[in-house]
Amino acid sequence: MLATGSTMEPVYALLRGADLDFSLANTFNLDEYLDGNQFREFMDAQLFEHVNICAENVHFPAIGYDALITEAGGIDLCILGIGVNGHIAFNEPGSSVNSRTRVVELDASTRVRNSELSGEETPSKAISAGIATILDCKRIIVMASGEEKREAVNNARYSDISDKCPASFLQTHSDVTWLVS
């Protein structure tokens, strides 16, 4: 599963410059704005237009997403960012550990930050893979960078597991690697 966001840009730069064979790769993005395609455009520009991935193997959240993932044999690797408020994908505080792909309401703080980054108004709703969808992935890498993420990263890794910090549910997964700078 693939994340969008500024944290991921150097990752996709590395991948598109590495002369890798994507012809057999299947990708499932973590989230997208409802009725929007900003994240699809981000992925096209950052990665998909530069590599030999097959168009039919690129997936974005939609109805039946979890069944589609199961049909594909599950997810080997999930690369996650983390929001300043501890969200993963668009699972905002209050998200259930049992959540699957669904329409979600975005936090006001998420909308403000994402508007600042994109220069566009952020929609109020998105479709996001759920916490359970993410925890089903065999291996998870979480990336976070900068002072503004410090509190979210500390809560996620060392505080009690709680829906107040959705990333704290990652403590229940047996194969999570944190890359923090």
The binding site for ligand GLP (CB under 6 A) comprises: 3-7, 30-31, 81, 83, 89-90, 110, 114, 117
Q: Which residue, 61 or 81, has its beta carbon nearer to ligand GLP?
A: 81
Q: Which residue, 53 or 134, has its beta carbon nearer to ligand GLP?
A: 134
Indicate which residue of 29, 32, 91, 92 is catalytic. 92
Q: Which residue, 81 or 130, has its beta carbon nearer to ligand GLP?
A: 81
Which residues in 29-165 belong to E strands, given as ranges? 31-33, 58-59, 77-80, 102-105, 125-128, 139-144
Q: Which residue, 44 or 52, has its beta carbon nearer to ligand GLP?
A: 44
Active site (annotated) includes residue 107: no
Active site (annotated) includes residue 92: yes
Which residue number places its CB atom closest to ligand GLP? 81
Neighbours of 109 (CB within 10 A): 14
Burial class (CB in 10 A: 0-12, 13-18, 19+), 151: middle
Indicate which residue of 29, 32, 87, 136 is catalytic. 87
Active site (annotated) includes residue 173: no
CB of 113 vs ligand GLP, minimal distance in Å: 7
Inter-residue contact 141 to 78 (CB < 8 Å): yes
Inter-residue contact 32 to 126 (CB < 8 Å): yes
CB of 21 vs ligand GLP, minimal distance in Å: 26
Select from 36, 140, 38, 31 the least CA-distant residue to 92. 31
CB of 140 vs ligand GLP, minimal distance in Å: 12
Indicate which residue of 29, 31, 32, 91 is catalytic. 31
7 CB-near residues (< 8 Å, 6+ apart): 81, 143, 144, 145
CB of 23 vs ligand GLP, minimal distance in Å: 26
Indicate which residue of 85, 91, 114, 155 is catalytic. 85
Say what the alpha-carbon torsion angle 57, 62, 64, 69 is, to the nearest 10 degrees.
40
Residues with catalytic roles: 31, 85, 87, 92
